[in-house]
Amino acid sequence: MSFLQPLALIALPLMALPIIIHLINQQRHRTIPWAAMMFLMRAKRMSRGMARLRHLLILLMRVLAIGALIFAISRPLSGGWLGSVGLSKPDATLILLDRSASMEMQDLQAGESKRSTALKRLAQLLEQGDYGTHLLLIDSASGQMQEVDSPKALLNLPMTGASATSANIPSMLETALAYLKANESGRAEIWICSDLNENDWDVHSGRWNAMRQAFAELDGVHHFLLAYTDPPSNNLSVRVENVQRWKRGNDAELILDVMVRTNGNSSGTRRVPIEFEVNNIQSVVEVELDTLGASLQGHRIPIDAKLSSGWGSVSLPGDANPLDNRFFFVFSEPPVRKTVVVSDDKRIGEAFRRALAIPLDPRLQHQADVIPVNRVAEIDWESTGLLIWQGALPSGLVAEQIEHFVNSGRVVMFFPPAQNAGEQLFDAHWSDWQSADGQEVAKVAWWRGDADLLAHVESGDALPLSGLRTYRYRTLESTGTPLARFDDETPLLTRVPTDHGAIYFCSTLPTAQYSSLERDGIVFYIMLQRALTEGCLTLAAAAQRDAGVGVLVDRDQWESVAPAENTASLSQRELHAGVYREGEYWVAVNRSHAEDNAKTSPVETVDALFDGLSYRRIDVDVGDTSALASELWRIFLIAMALALILEAILSLPSRKTEDTPLIDLAVADGSTE
Amino acid sequence: MLQLKRDYLNQKVLERLSTLQLHARLPMVGSVSGKHRSPIRGSSLEFAEYRKYVPGDDTRRLDWRAYARNDRYYIKEFEADTNLRMCLVVDTSGSMDFTDNGNPTGTDGETGLSKLDYARRVAGTLAYIAALQGDAVGLYCAGEAFHIEIPPKRSATHLSVVLDELGTMEASGETGLADILHETAERIPQRALIVVISDLFIEPETVRNCFEHLRFRKHDVAVFHLMEQNELDFEFDRPMRFVDMEGGEPILADPTVIGAQYRRAMEIYLESMDEVIRDTEVDYHRVQIHENYGDVLARFLLGRTPKKYK
């Protein structure tokens, strides 16, 4: 229990007052000489049990009445959220607010979302108590810390509004930790408001252990988690998995793959209308939902052939979460999927060109150019999606250009030079060639099949990497992540972590004297096509992006196209779903895929993340804006009244019965028989 | 008529009661001819019964009319009258100092009398009446700190001694009533009227033993059981510290809590005493000290008057 006036508890020793008065009174009772002591002693013996009990109860009621009054004056709060029963207030209160799309789940009756509910209750609680000198907010969308004037101000800040982003709770806690360490704050309270989405919490990340240890070293830090632990109510979300614009004779059409997911408890099937809007033209398609949802593959929407690019949206009827009922998409003519192969070896260059010139989809246009290293300056970086660099690692301007190329979302694959290794680039450096005079040197012992360039195909079959024969490979010194290894643990394919785009290093060459990549073909082709596909994502005039900070930084003049009611400020736009346009470029910003697959982390797992720390989880219900901590003084006043009433009842004298006269006058006559 | 100098005696009461006789319920044995029946048959004015003549009887007592009727010789037997020996046993334990409002004054007066004051009056009046009719009076006091033994005698001087001792008695200490009664039963060889004046705050079985002992010795036992109204009712409205008047430990008690139990204990005690009285056939009088002692004694004396005199 917490107290708003803890100083009043100093008066608790007054509870001993009735006992002291009783002891004093015992010494001050009127004294009377008494002759019939034998009867008095017998009476005391007869009434010892009940009388003593009654007397003790009376004393107890008096003590309790005083105690209840003192507690009432101290204004206790239920829960104990405002720190321990002590006299110190926190130096800082940090609020970590999960603003992810799933937090917009609403209670339809109350009209409040999880986010707004949590904010209101927390603001109310902090207004009641003392949040200390600093009130700081870290919101999940920006991940930045901001000082707030007052708890009430929390309700009106743009940083506490809804967003279509995902959250990164470990990062937010790391930000809080960094602040506490830097400012050497004494007592601090960290309030986390979240719906425990698995994707947001990443409970299995190794960061939690390090963070827990770091928090354990700080004194006086208390963690409180306002958690929505209830499973999501029946909610549908819609997503466009894929949209393509194709010409069809003199017409054009959009082909969409739409997924409708069901969250929460639902049974049986039902039909749900999906509304399509393209260039202000609506159409509705009904789909039949099962317990998991529905999938609408290859849905065709005819469009004007002159409309080379544009936007549209897919909508569902309103339900618990309005944020996942609409999905924006943009479309444009597919770009030329261009690859530049930099190699001084014509044979090797040709091998790459052949693999990259053949499109997966005949409707797509591919272009693969092979240029020697000395003509790198001729590269049109803007129109290139994939760069194959087979040569010494560059430095200087070329290295910067490649870095910029990658940061713009493109892909570069490095293959080993025959001779000079070159410089170090992206923390990687070629080492020596390994070979055995034409004999098979190494076989691929392991590769990553769940994702990336060597992932299983759609049917689930693995790529035939086990059959790849490698005669020569060059070792790579890198801190990157291996995607495939030889049996001697040497990486075949390595991916270097990067925020945007992708960087790969392949340790061998495709031609016959190095490996069977070109001859076998399948692995080589698929690997390159996948790299090209990934690299060309940003070539398109239309791009789908997940909401988050920095998604619109690539261009300066993005204009909001949809939704019409988009009133978000420039700084907040990238956090909300919508369509933006700059010239011929379109981008649709939506919530991430993870927000649609929202699974709630088990509370026990979340609790375990705070083992050894001062931690308390408060389960809340969406839409319930009742006070987190309610004052209990009324209860104690009622308790005091009850104690006094009981004391009065127990103190009432026993009712006297009508006794018959004790002296029988007939006997007093002395008459004897 | 004796000159009265004892202010605990009331002239009016004495004058009123002096017209009544103090009778013994049982035949007395005395050396002086008196008003009380004697268990010994002898010449007197009172015919008792006939018996057959045996050689050696006094022929002057032959009843010739009976011979004329029956042709047999019969002797007349007569009651032998003798004097009364009265022993007053007064309880002088501390509890006898209890008065109304618990304020021991030790003074005469119609109010504020202690049980001992009342006992003094009863004993003094009885002693006077007995002396007036020529009976012997003795006094025994039972108390831890005050012990008197004055064997019964017939003389004006002896009465003065008895009355003086009654006037100077003080109540204190624990009761020694049981011991005094047993001693009295043993020490007084001839039948006597034993008048016990006490609050009898001892176990009924102890009282029973004493009375049975006295009755075994053929004594006529009369008991004035003195009680005060507060002792019976125990009506107090607040917790009090009760100090034992016989020197025991004080007790802190709340009468509102234990009142019912106290009265129940008193009730049981009085029922037990009633049973003792029935079994021992003593002349028992339960007296509240606010009663007029003259009335009490009048009832006592009248209750002892033989039927032929009523």
What does the pLDDT look like over A457-488, one tens digit per residue?
988 899 999 989 999 999 999 999 999 999 88
On chain A, the residues whose CB falls within 8 A of the CB of B99 are: none
The amino acid at A452:
D
pLDDT for residue A176: 94
A352 and A341 Cβ atoms separated by less than 8 Å: yes
Residue type, B282: V
Two tokens at B269?
């005690």
pLDDT in the model for residue A290:
85
Strand pairing report for B193-198 and A106-107: unpaired
Is B282 part of the contact surface with chain A (CB cutoff 8 Å)? yes
Which of A35, A38, A668 lies nearest to residue B286, judging by beta carbons?
A: A668
Q: Is A662 on the interface with B (CB under 8 A)?
A: yes
User: Using 50, 70 and 90 to split pLDDT, how confident is the model at B249?
Assistant: confident
The shortest C-alpha distance from A56 to chain B (Å) reads 13
Predicted local distance difference test score (pLDDT) of residue B237: 80
Contact A34 B299 (CB under 8 A): no
A54 touches B at CB < 8 Å: yes
User: Tell me, what's the ipTM?
Assistant: 0.79
Of B94, B260, B285, the CB nearest to A670: B285
Say what the pLDDT of residue B132 is: 84
- For range B178-207, the mean pLDDT: 90
Q: Which residues contact A655 (CB under 8 A, 6 or more apart)?
A: none
Looking at residue A552, its pLDDT comes to 82
Task: Answer left, alpha or beta for residue A222, where phi above 0 means left and psi between -120 and 50 means alpha.
Answer: beta
Q: Given this model, what pLDDT does residue B122 score?
A: 94
User: Which runs of consecutive H residues, i.e. helices, occur in A299-420?
Assistant: 346-357, 396-407
Query: Which of A323, A278, A314 minimizes the C-alpha distance to A294?
Result: A314
Interface residue A649 vs chain B (CB under 8 A): no
Q: Which range, of A489-498, B107-116, B207-216, averages the lowest pLDDT?
A: B107-116
User: A440: pLDDT confidence band, cut at 50, 70 and 90?
Assistant: low
Which chain A residues are Cβ-neighbours of B97 within 8 angstroms? 33, 35
What is the reported pLDDT for B229? 87
Q: pLDDT by residue (tens digit) across A133-183?
A: 789 999 999 899 999 988 889 888 888 999 999 999 999 999 999 999 988
Provide the pLDDT for residue A658: 47
CA-nearest residue to A29 within chain B is B240
pLDDT number for residue A64 = 94
Per-residue model confidence (pLDDT) at position A554: 72
Which of A54-63, A69-78, A222-231, B235-244 shows the highest mean pLDDT?
A54-63
Comparison of pLDDT for B71 and A85, the residue scoring more: B71
Burial class (CB in 10 A: 0-12, 13-18, 19+), A129: buried
**Residue B191 — pLDDT band, cuts 50, 70, 90?**
confident
pLDDT at position B100: 65
Residue % of chain A over a pLDDT of 90: 45
> To 5 degrees, how large is the angle CA B255–CA B260–CA B264?
125
Round to whole Å and give the CA distance between A528 and A87: 66
Rounded-to-integer distance, Cα B23 and Cα B45, Å: 18
Average pLDDT over residues A529-540: 89
What residue of A is the nearest CA neighbor of B299?
A: A669
Q: Which residues of A touch B241 (CB under 8 A)?
A: 29-32
Cβ within 8 Å of A, B 257-276: 257-267, 269-270, 274
Write down the pLDDT at residue B279: 94
Q: Do B237 and A653 touch (CB under 8 A)?
A: yes
Q: How many CB atoms lie within 10 A of CB A616?
A: 13
pLDDT value of residue B28: 57
- DSSP alpha helices (H): ranges in A74-113? none
Beta bridge partners of A585: A582
pLDDT for res A108 = 72
Which chain B positions have a beta carbon within 8 Å of A22's beta carbon?
none
Give pLDDT tens digits for A365-386.
Answer: 899 999 999 999 999 998 999 9
Give me the pLDDT at residue B102, please.
44
Under the phi-then-psi rule, with left for phi > 0, alpha for psi from -120 to 50, and beta for the rest, what region is A489? left
Residue A633 has, within 13 A of its CA and on its CB side, a CA count of: 12
Q: What is the pLDDT of residues B41-52, one digit of tens each?
A: 554 455 656 777
Tokens 């219900």 locate to A621
What's the average model confidence in pLDDT over A542-550? Answer: 88
Secondary structure of residue B310 in the 3-state scheme: coil
Burial of A316 (0-12, 13-18, 19+ CB in 10 A): buried
Interatomic CA distance for residues A265 and A288, integer angstroms: 17
Cis, peptide link before residue A563, omega less than 30° from 0: yes
pLDDT at B121: 93
Chain A CB contacts of B240 under 8 Å are 29-32
Q: What is the per-residue pLDDT for A140?
A: 94
- Give the residue-averaged pLDDT of A253-275: 84
Partner A, chain B 230-249, Cβ-Cβ below 8 Å = 231-234, 236-246, 248
**Cβ neighbour number for residue B119 with a 10 Å cutoff:** 30
Q: Is the pTM of this model over 0.80?
A: no
B243–A654: do the CB atoms touch at under 8 Å?
Answer: no
Q: Which residue has the higher pLDDT, A648 or B1?
A: A648
- Indicate the average pLDDT of chain A: 86
Q: Cβ contacts (< 8 Å) between A662 and chain B: which residues? A: 232-233, 263, 266-267, 270
pLDDT score of B47 = 63
What's the confidence (pLDDT) of residue A566?
64
Q: How confident is the model at residue A52 (pLDDT cuts 50, 70, 90)?
A: confident
What whole-number distance in Å separates Cα of residue B305 and Cα of residue B290? 26
Q: What percent of chain B has pLDDT over 90?
A: 34
Q: Which of A136-150, B109-123, B174-188, B233-247 has the highest mean pLDDT?
A: A136-150
Supply angle C-alpha B77, B83, B87, rounded to 5.
Answer: 135
Q: Which two tokens stand for residue A162?
A: 């809804």
